[in-house]
Amino acid sequence: MHSIRKSVLALMVGGSMFAGALVGAVAFGGAAGTANADTPSASPSAQVRPAGGPGANGKFVPNEDPAHEAGESAAREAQEDAGQVPTIP
């Protein structure tokens, strides 16, 4: 009777280890394989630059979108026109 208890305990421990490994493989297996994979990107001419950020040469490029310009103050627009990073809202 004592050896049956040990067998049942060993089966339970082994089963829980197997179940944990299975859950870990499902949860992390697919995502881990693609986390650092290279993704194809568009050519530099086709990429969209964030509005109001630094340009390709590191110089500030203002957002000249008409919807954005409508909400700007004259002082902010003057800073943008001078090539400065705006400090005025």
Tell me what pLDDT residue 12 has: 96
pTM given for the model? 0.35
| Number of domains the chain is built from | 2
In-domain check, residue 84: yes
On whether residue 6 sits in a domain, the answer given is: yes
81 located within any domain: yes
- Tens of pLDDT along 44-77? 544 444 555 555 566 777 888 888 888 888 898 8
Please give the pLDDT value at position 19: 95
Query: What domain range includes position 88?
Result: 53-89
Query: Is 45 within the bounds of a domain?
Result: no
Please name the residues in contact with 77: beta carbons below 8 A apart, sequence gap of 6 or more: 69
Cα 36–43–58 angle (5° rounding)? 85
* Domain assignment present for 42: no
Whether residue 89 sits in one domain with residue 57: yes
3-state secondary structure of 36: coil
pLDDT at site 46: 45
On whether residue 1 sits in a domain, the answer given is yes
| Top-confidence residue, 56 or 2 | 2
